[in-house]
Structure 1
Amino acid sequence: MKIENTDELRLLLECARGGSLTAASKVMDITPAAASAMLKKLEARLGLRLVERSTRALRLTQAGEQLREHGQRALELLDEGLALALEADPVAAAAGKRGAGADAMPRLRGRIRVSAPSDLTRQLLLPLFDSFLALHPALELQLNVSDSLLDIVKDEVDLALRYGQLADSGLVARRLAEARRMAVASPGYLQEHGRPAHPSELGAHNCLCFKIRNRIERSWRFRPRGPEGGALLSVAVQGRRSCDDASIAHQWAVQGFGVIYKSELDVRLSLASGALVDLFPDWQGDDLPLHALMPSQRFLPQRVRALVDHLAQGLSAG
């Protein structure tokens, strides 16, 4: 059993996108009858039902969805390889072997679909995306910014940036940065309401809460800094404002509306400018490492690898 040509894969992908053979045939510039015959031939050769047909629509079966998922990435890798091969020449190859610098950099093509947290994106990632696209003008970035978690496979995400410890899964993960949460507030808020001397005093302050992994986090945890650490302290907090967008909570804190418990990466620039202040330098919050998650190492396009390397380098430089 095998796929005889890429048109068969492309037809399956277009059927999934358009929801019908008619829509798929228009994109591929063939007749609906030819599209139907090609799909039936593929199903017969594989011995699998790939689609469920109805009078109005078409949807993929479980087997069809599995083939679509891997076929999408296989076609992207093929397109990328063909683009690189077409641009290859002896002079460029020799320059690449000598490490001739930016001029020898592979000319990456295609689209990269990225999902990233809202505050991290606005605070640190946007300049890194800009510099990466400047290095690779033939690339396209499709960015989803949200604190809600997407299904990487179902939503066809090439790269997801996520905080925290990871659950076991078939995804490929690379740790990009170490980070911890910290409690911070603006100088204006502290001048008006006083600075807490100990994390246990946060219960008496206006704390700005936001969704973490799809739920509002109202229990903030701390340990004493130092090699010996110490007992975990969990503080129940409350406040007049909460939201589902961490970047809004960050903005509220800068405006002096309360205290936030955030990743040190998210508040790096605000701490450096003095807009926010670390309330408890002798305490540390939860570990919150930043990971890059990808669907598969085997079918990972070079453009995605390059972006992950660029982000890792940029975050470490900060």
Structure 2
Amino acid sequence: MNWPADLQLSQLQLFIRLADAGSLSAAARQLDMTPAAASASLKRLETSLAVRLVERSTRSMRLTPEGELLRDHAQRALGVLDDARSLLGAQREALAGEVHLATPLDLGRTVLSPMLEPLLARHPRLRVVMHLSDSMHDLTRERVDLAVRYGVLQDSSLVARPLATTRRMAVASPAYLERHGTPRHPHDLDAHNCLALNLRSRPEVRWTFHRTGESLTVRVHGNRVADDGGLVREWAVAGLGIAFKARLDVTADLAAGRLVEVMPDWSGDTFPLQAILPTHRHLPLRVRGVLDELVERFAHLDGADQRQ
């Protein structure tokens, strides 16, 4: 693509934010611009390229075929420029800039945040912005550079890099088990207060367990449901019931004795933890640095079911 002589870098940055957010006002907020200034910048960009880049409606904006083409080229151009800036800096190995990382709530707090501390200490000009939610982030529309998600990737427009494998397990505090007894079989959970995670507006109250040559799904009951996996874990630590958690989320609690595995002969489903990237985006050095750090840290986690 031949760039016009009067093309400005800020115009491309605004256009990329618009393409990701689908809204000019959202793109303007991300760049600390007024909507009027953002609109004028977009018009100047279209005029300089002599093409219409977006189809405007009262509620949203959609890229034209020419806009899609520009997005692909602009992403690569800005990514190459970003890499050049990093390589030409005074500290050639230093990472700088902002990386937006989307993670599940509990995993982000208990695992990823402490995992990234050494990287941030080595690179003081690097800034990690964590977006914690147990809901799925839309990487193609939101300002997210990298996401960490449990489960198998369904979206073909994204790229997954394996980080670890984990499994679900029933856990409770020693105090809860001392008061209420220890279940030995999944059917015994019917007599216990089970703490449920609310996903997609539905509580997860059907827990599936496996033992050699045998699988069993039981429906559990309890007086607490939350859409925050971290809160469910805190309830379990406080002795309020039994939780069904990914082993990665409770590794520190198990090691410290705050939680213990219930029915260790019965294991929940095994599933991957993956780093997710949009395919159409250039991967800046700072994002690559965060991704490589996570891959390295997960490779050295204790626990056979957490290693790749």
Query: Same fold by TM (over 0.5)?
Result: yes
Which residue does the alignment assign to 1:100? none
- Structure 1 residue 18: deviation in Å? 2.3
Which residue does the alignment assign to 2:36? 22
| Distance in 2 of aligned mates of 1:158 and 1:219 | 34
Match of 1:291 among 274, 285, 294: 274
2:180 maps to 1:203? no
- Structure 1 residue 41: deviation in Å? 3.0
Amino acid at match of 2:266: W
Which residue does the alignment assign to 1:12? 15
Equivalent pair of 1:172/1:297 in contact (CA under 8 Å):
no
Question: Cα gap change, 1:110/1:78 in structure 2, threshold over 3 Å: closer, same or farther?
Answer: farther
Deviations 1:194-230 (A, max 9, x none): 1001112112211000124553211111111xxxx31
Match of 1:259 among 229, 232, 242: 242
| Distance in 2 of aligned mates of 1:58 and 1:212 | 28
Question: Cα gap change, 1:180/1:166 in structure 2, threshold over 3 Å: closer, same or farther?
Answer: same
- Structure 1 residue 288: deviation in Å? 2.5
Deviations 1:220-272 (A, max 9, x none): 11111xxxx31211011110000000000000000000000000000101111
2:159 maps to 1:145? no
| Distance in 1 of aligned mates of 2:280 and 2:143 | 15
Aligned partner of residue 289 in structure 1, secondary structure:
strand
Across the aligned residues of Structure 1 and Structure 2, the Cα RMSD in angstroms comes to: 2.8
Gaps of 5+ in 1: 26-31, 93-104
Question: Cα gap change, 1:65/1:157 in structure 2, threshold over 3 Å: closer, same or farther?
Answer: farther
Aligned partner of residue 182 in structure 1, secondary structure:
strand
Aligned partner of residue 154 in structure 2, secondary structure:
coil
- Structure 1 residue 36: deviation in Å? 3.3
Question: Cα gap change, 1:114/1:70 in structure 2, threshold over 3 Å: closer, same or farther?
Answer: farther
Gaps of 5+ in 2: 19-23, 302-308
| Distance in 2 of aligned mates of 1:152 and 1:37 | 28
2:207 maps to 1:234? no
Question: Cα gap change, 1:59/1:23 in structure 2, threshold over 3 Å: closer, same or farther?
Answer: farther
Provide the TM-score with structure 1 as the length reference. Answer: 0.80
Which residue does the alignment assign to 1:50? 53
- Structure 1 residue 144: deviation in Å? 0.4
Amino acid at match of 2:197: F
Equivalent pair of 1:12/1:39 in contact (CA under 8 Å):
no
Which residue does the alignment assign to 2:79? 77
- Structure 1 residue 61: deviation in Å? 3.2
Question: Cα gap change, 1:196/1:290 in structure 2, threshold over 3 Å: closer, same or farther?
Answer: same
2:172 maps to 1:170? no
| Distance in 1 of aligned mates of 2:223 and 2:67 | 45
Match of 1:219 among 173, 196, 206: 206
Deviations 1:52-100 (A, max 9, x none): 458x998443547635754664354133222134237xxx8xxxxxxxx
Aligned partner of residue 232 in structure 1, secondary structure:
strand
Q: Which moved more, 1:272-281 or 1:306-315?
A: 306-315
- Structure 1 residue 317: deviation in Å? 2.3
Amino acid at match of 2:182: R
Question: Cα gap change, 1:119/1:71 in structure 2, threshold over 3 Å: closer, same or farther?
Answer: farther
Deviations 1:159-213 (A, max 9, x none): 1110112214121101101100000001111111110011121122110001245
Query: Greater strand share, 1 or 2?
Result: 2
| Distance in 2 of aligned mates of 1:72 and 1:18 | 18
Provide the TM-score with structure 2 as the length reference. Answer: 0.83
Which residue does the alignment assign to 2:305? none
Alignment of 1:94-109 (within 5 A): 106-109=93-96
2:19 maps to 1:36? no
Equivalent pair of 2:209/2:215 in contact (CA under 8 Å):
yes
- Structure 1 residue 38: deviation in Å? 3.8
